[in-house]
Structure 1
């Protein structure tokens, strides 16, 4: 269904603003500002970015304190949801005969070097009977820097190492009673009422993966007592086709996160008997 490919390294802040230990001139600040903007780095999601001049001055003055061990971490990029006792199939848009692809630029906290990853999406796929999460596993290396007495963490994404999928025997999000789903946390789509039906119903939906949209994920390391971040910006989008089979006897309500920020989501399914 999905297969990831490593398409090489992306320059990080240390490549664009090498630390010199000296305060930069206004002209150098402007030069580095333009270089960072052209590189289109995800400053907000990974760093809580604010003032340009102070930010670049800190980069020039920072010093490497220590390097931490490499580790493998995961970026969940898609959650596929299945109604109770039903099935869901995700594939490339049925109006296109060939396979599709999703391009991602992935960076970690502090914007060390990133990685470009391409996910190929097959036009043919097996139906899932359980909800599942699809992830990209990445080898990363954290480094700790100090500037003006304040330490910061930079994460370099070294390599895409493989795809991973986790199936959930009982999804915590699907199969809940509609009355138990908090409307402050979720929005709802038009329901599908099969309470009086005796036959299964097959429905097809579209999920647009839009260029410039982002996928964020947090992760922990054994050596740093704070949560670090990964951010994947979509550089090549596509439309996924989602075919879902609903057993009879229930009313199904599609649910979506009110403020999405994590992986892409097919609809989650609340029910009413």
Structure 2
């Protein structure tokens, strides 16, 4: 069941009394789902306006594709793309919370201090930049702590676990403890579906999703939108994976998910509404 949560964003308390929908905005030419790619101002603006109109509670802006085999992007280019995306977003809405999807502390600092981002979404959980946690603590920004092993190029070779759910919870628990000691208070947990896990392990974590919330005591973000756990299981392409995505998102809601990170906002908003009506 859903547990209400709040985030302190720049001194303003955002309270969530229902599961939140986070819309994915990729300012990249090579994200795994072609339908999410946008690199020009009109393309970004169209996507942002559609998501906000559809009821997105927050946006997640990414400028570095984490799919296996994606091209490397320099920190300067990542910042350039983030700056472009943030300008478009803030021209449309000054209020919607925006997370910056980056594993680089320098990009996180630039995005929050100078570009108008609010939340840091780190796919590496601090492992790819040793300055990230100190940066987030200094910024006093909410932090999305995701589980991943290795990096996007090596992660799919690092899938050996004794018990994937227990091992991921153990890793996140230790990091959560250390982050809180550093003064990072608003932390969102992301189990990292699709990152250094096999398809079978992804489904095992989904079956045990409620354990992440009960064991870690933090809001849980679920990001399965159009991912390979769906496409491989059904023998389809990411373009065909919306029904499977909504099915898994609905299952995640029944198991305590706090935030759904999605490419398709209107469908996710509808899933949240159906979940709400079914649990009145």
Please state which band the TM-score falls in when normalised by the shorter chain. Answer: under 0.3
Q: TM-score, normalised by structure 2?
A: 0.22
Q: TM-score, normalised by structure 1?
A: 0.23
Greater gyration radius: 1
**Higher helix fraction: Structure 1 or Structure 2?**
2
